[in-house]
């Protein structure tokens, strides 16, 4: 589907707010500029916003596909619109986010962390958001045994189930030793996975059930130290 045809199908509305903080101090960044455009037409600016003393922009309404696109699995059309955000602030490196997804009748909050300028010759930091897992074409998950034997003698750290403060996220296949590991807050990880695997337009009970499943799976991986005991890389965590 062409970008023009997709924009013609944007007959509903969603809301967007951008929050900007310093990557070093986490303090709000005031007077940061935010330019919003369609990802397919980045040269045409739709909105120009500025952050307040709390580092937040005003909430703006933007066009989206119809709500029913994300509620009916039989609909093959893309259920969300994609926007490009360019964030600039004095003394900070600019950031470009391409493919920010917006659903109908939902408020999306985009958090941005700006790095202070250390090397003036460096360009803007670019993030490209891939297609949602419910819409894009992705390889199947690695097959596993439904019931896995757990050898207690292999336990290294945890003696009980705990909720970790941070988990290690392996940015690639568990078999890929070259991929980067990132320390991510557990709560942020759960939120990010949920936003990647379900739509915010779904019924509240459906969203809650999916998030509980995501939490259960993640805590199981941490408690059983599945990746460490399998000599693989993946989601791990240290308890608090």
Three-state secondary structure of 12-75:
EEEEEEEEEEECCCCCECCCCEEEEEECCEEEEEEEEEECCCCCECCCEEEEECCCHHHHCCCC
Q: Is there a single domain that holds both residue 221 and residue 161?
A: yes
Report residue 21 as tokens: 């903080």
- Reduced to 3 states (helix: H, G, I; strand: E, B; else coil), residue 88 is strand
Q: Is there a single domain that holds both residue 117 and residue 77?
A: yes
In a domain, 22, yes or no: yes
Low-confidence ranges of the chain (pLDDT < 50): 1, 154-155, 233, 236-240
Q: Is there a single domain that holds both residue 113 and residue 22?
A: yes
pLDDT score for 121: 76
Q: Is there a single domain that holds both residue 206 and residue 93?
A: no
pLDDT score for 150: 59
Q: What is the pLDDT of residues 167-224, one digit of tens each?
A: 888 887 777 788 888 889 999 999 999 999 999 999 999 999 999 999 998 988 887 7
Nearest to 113 by CA among 128, 97, 95: 95
Q: Is there a single domain that holds both residue 22 and residue 71?
A: yes
Q: Is there a single domain that holds both residue 78 and residue 163?
A: no
Count of domains for the chain = 2
Q: Is there a single domain that holds both residue 99 and residue 162?
A: no
The answer for residues whose C-beta is within 8 angstroms of residue 161's C-beta and 6 or more apart is 219, 223
The secondary element (H helix, E strand) that includes residue 165 is strand 164-170
In a domain, 71, yes or no: yes
pLDDT score for 9: 66
CATH of the domain at 80: 2.60.40.10
pLDDT score for 172: 76
pLDDT score for 43: 80
Q: Is there a single domain that holds both residue 115 and residue 205?
A: no
| Domain limits for position 226 | 152-239
- Mean residue pLDDT of the chain comes to 86
Sheet holding 95-102, edge to edge: 41-50, 33-38, 81-88, 95-102, 125-128
pLDDT score for 236: 46
pLDDT score for 158: 63
Other CB atoms within 10 A of residue 55 CB: 22
pLDDT score for 230: 56
Distance CA 5, CA 7 (A): 5
In a domain, 59, yes or no: yes
pTM: 0.81
In a domain, 144, yes or no: no
């Amino acid at each position: 589907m062409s970008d023009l045809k997709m924009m013609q199908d944007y007959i509903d509305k969603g809301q967007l707010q951008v929050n900007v903080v310093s990557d070093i101090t986490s303090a709000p960044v005031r007077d940061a500029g935010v330019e919003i455009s369609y990802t397919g037409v980045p040269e045409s600016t739709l909105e120009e916003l500025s952050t307040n003393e709390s580092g937040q922009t005003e909430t703006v309404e933007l066009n989206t596909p119809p709500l029913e696109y994300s509620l009916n699995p039989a609909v093959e059309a893309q259920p969300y619109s994609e926007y490009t955000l360019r964030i600039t602030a004095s003394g900070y490196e600019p950031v470009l986010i391409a493919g920010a997804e917006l659903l109908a009748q939902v408020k999306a909050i985009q958090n941005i962390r700006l790095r202070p300028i250390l090397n003036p010759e460096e360009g803007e930091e670019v993030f490209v958001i891939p297609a949602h897992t419910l819409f894009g074409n992705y390889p199947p998950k690695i097959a596993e045994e439904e019931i896995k034997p757990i050898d207690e003698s292999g336990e290294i750290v945890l003696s009980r189930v705990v909720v970790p403060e941070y988990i290690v996220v392996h940015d690639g296949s568990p078999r890929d030793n070259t991929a980067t590991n990132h320390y991510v807050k557990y709560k942020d990880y759960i939120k990010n996975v949920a936003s990647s695997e379900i739509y915010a337009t779904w019924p509240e009970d459906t969203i809650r059930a999916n998030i509980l499943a995501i939490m259960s799976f993640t805590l199981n991986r941490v408690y059983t130290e599945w990746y460490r005991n399998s000599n693989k890389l993946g989601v791990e965590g240290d308890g608090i």
